[in-house]
Structure 1
């Protein structure tokens, strides 16, 4: 029998599983880390061991079962913390240390037969290792081994053998560091707590989170209807993040300053207007979009369009590009809001769907390439003829309908 040590961090948002935050919030990543830790501790509970120790960075919580001795981590780098964990847990029996990132491990793996071996090592697919065992503490086995690299496992094995230790190898496992790792665990080990939580989170992301992550370049996102069919105008992130193209500039030539860009995204339209010397302001509900716009030297405000905005009733033009007439899922309500924002003879420029008769107010869903899906987002897709019908209930009068091979636009002017 031996001592099993779990080296772990308290699952606090922002301190654990930061690589999961390419698709999950800090709170969600911490919840996944906690579930993984609970799964791991459950396996250790069931393993044949004399003692169970947790070497903890942070404070224990209700997730820690009875029967575990808590030892506070000490040391600066991970190599020092691992060495200290062995020293602090040693009672004369062999010790097997595991991390909190391989919840799929099995109790029998922890009941290693030490006969003929001085050390144990279990590698991970990303080049690290998920467990390390030593008969007795030896700082020489750890200090100076490069940690958190794609060759940590190889270097650790080389160090153990250089010390003349006979090393027993355990199976290679995949640890949970990235969203793809979490997806692998959920598919291959569906009954784990972390897998069940992952599946719940996969289908309940806030649309704004996925949009911000797409703008930040951490993940690829497509917009679809509830039927799964792609909505092209809402999935062209490359065009949104690029400078204004020829069609954008042609549309903006209709604008009369000052211009308000509703749903400005990363700011290509506001920036193009500023380069023309036209005063412009972008508004967006995405903090990331506003940050990207201001980083380009343009002006933007983090605010929903239905909340009070600067210059109400005095804007020369209001712009709804990239299908943003769909914001909120009610085109009539949005057109009325635009009429409130422009001056008495002001212009509203709307990019509509190329299908003139399309009038679809079905919510949309944002999806990542790893399968994460947002909750339904109220949205509308409207063609020119449908938009004209909606405009009849407002004080906006259509003045021009024009298009390019792949995009369509309608301009409306406010009338008394």
Structure 2
């Protein structure tokens, strides 16, 4: 005996509502795209299995993604146990039924066509403690309602429930669910032909740098490298960015004259340290998470690229490019010119340069997560003090100081005031 009806219990792949555990490595939209691809693989395997009836027990809308040939029944019930029981009831047409989820895209028609003659039920367990399929000859709410769902022992509990009802159960091979980034990577490696695997490979090498930067701010391990794979130390020190200002930071900040604009403020350690000194300061960053973390520390921050209009243009006492932020945009000469526009006449521009004095590398960088994701190239520049001095001179900034602290390199510059500005000042 084989199943006469195949049921897929599924949720419409809407960003933010499906595969939320994938969002430790992927955006909500990317996680939803992976869910959609996984569901497409599952539906293709189901449709290739010769049975009389194909059913989707659906939460959400099927418009635009469900292939033809499936009868849709809406999910009903309060918990997953009730929704599973209802799916069997609503799909029943007098034939044995096999229900599968949308999280095992590696399922095959051969697995779905298993002969379970002599058994009352079929159960396929998953590696995480759940189960990927359940087969019943006819609906039986007793078999499902009250079984704890979404635990690491759901599969065992389901098996015990079936046996407690006197069911003879055929166990199918154990499969791995697609729930976490590690699951996605493992399935992509083991089953490279799947739609979800092909999408995973594309996503692994095309992450937006902002996504990985925000993952780093949230505590994930992310490293920065050149496109050649060499590490970029100044952009791999997120732990320092998230910690309070250290001795080298405080030494640099002792030069600051208020008000201070911190460009690329990250999680706000510099703006916070300035506030503690009683120096008015504002952080700017393009990362929403960085701005949130800064304001959470009680310091002001604004989400805006430095190239766009900023408050107080031409009136800032000091403008900061800490933590290698001289590299923002990959054009340090243009960035220093922008700083000169922001600072007041004779105001201060403080730059943290690469410790390698001779470095002048405008090549883009790549962010890499511990989970294997790699961003597309991010325009950046790595420049030592000699290159910074050249670029500053072209921006009409004159050097005033150059020092080292804890292996870090700093320079300060003054914006040269024009004759008209000096006359206005006096």
Report TM bin, short chain.
over 0.9
Q: Does 1:288 align with 2:289?
A: yes
Q: Does 1:300 align with 2:301?
A: yes
Match of 1:27 in 2: 29
Distance in 1 (CA, whole Å) between partners of 2:92 and 2:306 is 62
What is the DSSP-based 3-state SS (H/G/I as helix, E as strand, rest coil) of the residue aligned with 2:6?
Answer: strand
Shift of 1:391: 1.1
1:86-133 per-residue CA deviation (whole Å, 9 max, x = no partner) reads 111112221111001100011111112121211111111111111111
CA contact (8 A) 2:224 2:366 kept: yes
Distance in 2 between residues matched to 1:260 and 1:64, nearest whole Å:
52
SS in 2 for 1:80: helix
- Deviation string for 1:275-323 (max 9, x for gaps)? 1111010000000000000011000000000111111111111111110
Summarize the alignment of residues 313-392 of structure 1 with structure 2, pairs less than 5 Å apart: 313-392=314-393
What SS is found at the alignment partner of 1:392?
A: helix
Mean Cα deviation higher: 238-247 or 328-337:
238-247
Given that 2:99 and 2:134 are in contact with CA atoms closer than 8 Å, whether structure 1 keeps it comes out as: yes
Write out the 4+ residue segments of structure 1 that deviate beyond 6 Å after TM superposition: none
Counterpart CA distance in 2 for 1:158 and 1:65 is: 36
SS in structure 2 of the partner of residue 35 of structure 1: helix
Provide the residue aligned with 1:394 in structure 2: 395
Which runs of 5 or more structure 2 residues have no equivalent in the other structure? Answer: 418-426
Q: Is the CA contact 2:8–2:55 (under 8 Å) kept in the aligned structure 1?
A: yes
**Corresponding residue of 1:193:** 195
Q: Distance in 2 between matches of 1:62 and 1:346?
A: 58
Provide, for residues 32-90 of structure 1, a one-character-per-residue CA deviation record: whole Å limited to 9, x for no partner: 11111110000001113221111011111333222211111111111110010011111
Q: TM-score, normalised by structure 1?
A: 0.98
Partner Cα separation in structure 2 for residue 336 and residue 95 of structure 1: 70
What corresponds to 1:213 in structure 2?
A: 215
Give the unaligned 5+ runs of structure 1.
none
Aligned-partner Cα distance in 1 for 2:176–2:63: 26
Q: Distance in 1 between matches of 2:265 and 2:30?
A: 28
Partner of 2:157 in structure 1?
A: 155
Q: Tell me the distance in 2 between the aligned counterparts of 1:60 and 1:282.
A: 45
TM-score when scaled to structure 2? 0.96
Whole-Å separation in 1 of the counterparts to 2:33 and 2:177: 16
Distance 1:196 1:351 in 2: 42
Q: What's the CA shift for 1:407?
A: 0.8
In 1, are the aligned partners of 2:400 and 2:413 still within 8 Å (CA)? yes
Equivalent pair of 1:48/1:110 in contact (CA under 8 Å)? no
Query: Aligned pair count?
Result: 415
Q: Which residue of 2 aligns with 1:183?
A: 185
SS in 1 for 2:318: strand
C-alpha contact (below 8 Å) 2:259/2:280 kept by paired residues: yes
3-state SS of paired residue (1:191): coil
Counterparts of 2:128 and 2:138, CA distance in 1: 27
Paired residue for 2:65, among 47, 63, 66? Answer: 63
Q: Which residue of 2 aligns with 1:246?
A: 247
Distance 2:248 2:146 in 1: 58
